[in-house]
Chains A and B, each alone.
Chain A
């Protein structure tokens, strides 16, 4: 193990141990947080009993849907927009201020328009993610060397072929960062909306468990969401680093 890895393991282990000590020692009372070993036991129980599978499946399906929509449409829009400089310049301030806008504030409007179903939740996750994908795609396309574009021209590729075979493959590392962002936003959008107002889903169950002081359900569910997002995120990061290393730019 490298020194860096040892350091990281030590930090995580230290954090868990301190929490354990604080909980067992009574500094953090049981109503606030069960000790980590208890959470681990409850976590295994959550995964082995099937009571919440439907809720977990529903939330994950919505997260996936929001992610796919934001990712695909974001790349399509980003690629299309790249050719139109004036339009892009005009939209630039929107992109720059977009993440300062609390998109969740629109959730009530969406509920009124689309009803209290999955639609508004997916829409929030989609809206949060798409701009990050567009901006990252544009950023990647800006870095395509002129010689590649010229080669595409000489080969008489249509704009669509150029995008599919030349420019987008070149942007692969950027598209991976875009995927990370879109996924994080899809999680935030869907779970957050379920928290604010919904009738089912993981966010709803967490809120429900919270109001009932049901820490045996709440903590494992939170842990599950955190684990999924961290694992997927690090897998994408690793893939991104591999791609960059292969191109000898790191």
Chain B
């Protein structure tokens, strides 16, 4: 048991050390023109977090992200369970969902901007369309993988659709659904930040885009660093929970 838990931690430490080493080497190669060293970046990041403006942008991004994630999860689960309960719909729509999943959603951004206007709602919509499909697909696969005997038991007990989802499908498909939520989390975050990069007046993506315009390498490095740290650490935690759920199942 201890061995099982220690290896991932050791791997993570080795990996982080490796990434920092590569970063430092890249800095030595490229120089101050385009990069900052890990140490400089961290110092500037601390400085950045002491400014008022940074917190305004961060709060704005988190707000948009939370709204987008909530929409992605609710709609994703609804689509996933809806299709999971109806065989023909699932057979017909699953390949279409997969095809939709593979299209470059970035190209849809101008349409969303025209539909929602600049600002919060376009960002939220862009984040949400990145997250809905993975949540729906993983949920659908989870529901499909539920053992038939459980479904039969439900039918014998004369459960209606809602009771069926709540007391049989959801618990049985929980590990798969969680994987969907994990993937949906990452994609929604990327979607939201991308949305801010293209057109917004607030948020970390805007801060990044603005820094590109002003050629402010310190800000570019710090914001990138913060985004990567946030995404990687949340994903690490979700991944650990995910593995535990799958092991138990």
Say whether, besides A31-B114, A102-B194, A191-B107, A93 and B99 are in contact (CB < 8 Å).
no
Bitwise, A81-94 to B at CB < 8 A (1) or not (0) is 00000000111111
Say whether, besides A31-B114, A100-B234, A226 and B227 are in contact (CB < 8 Å).
no
Bitwise, A189-212 to B at CB < 8 A (1) or not (0) is 001100111000001001101100
Least CB separation from B185: chain A residue: A100
Q: A154 in the interface, Cβ–Cβ < 8 Å?
A: no
Contact B197 A222 (CB under 8 A): no
How many Å from the CB of A52 to the closest CB on chain B?
Answer: 15
Contact B110 A102 (CB under 8 A): no
Query: How many chain B residues have a CB neighbour from A under 8 Å?
Result: 62
Cβ-defined partner of B30 (8 Å) among A11, A113, A180: A113
Say whether, besides A8-B96, A101-B232, A230-B99, A96 and B239 are in contact (CB < 8 Å).
yes
Contact A100 B99 (CB under 8 A): no
Q: Range of interface residues on chain A?
A: 35 or more
How many Å from the CB of B44 to the closest CB on chain A?
Answer: 15
Q: Which residues of B contact A237 (CB under 8 A)?
A: 95, 98
Q: How far is the CA of A195 from the CA of B106 in the complex (A)?
A: 8
Q: Give 23 A-B contacts (CB < 8 Å), ordered by A residue.
A: A4-B92, A33-B115, A89-B11, A93-B12, A93-B236, A94-B19, A97-B235, A100-B186, A100-B190, A102-B227, A105-B193, A105-B228, A108-B208, A111-B212, A180-B102, A192-B194, A195-B106, A206-B110, A209-B110, A222-B111, A229-B102, A230-B102, A237-B95
Residues of B within 8 A of A (CB): 7-8, 11-12, 14-15, 18-19, 30, 33-35, 88-89, 91-93, 95-96, 98-99, 102-111, 113-115, 183, 185-187, 189-190, 193-194, 197-198, 208-209, 211-212, 215, 217, 220-221, 223-224, 227-228, 231-232, 234-236, 239
Residues of A within 8 A of B (CB): 3-5, 7-8, 11, 28, 31-33, 89-94, 96-97, 99-102, 104-106, 108-109, 111-113, 180, 184, 187-188, 191-192, 195-197, 203, 206-207, 209-210, 218-219, 222, 225-226, 229-230, 233-234, 237
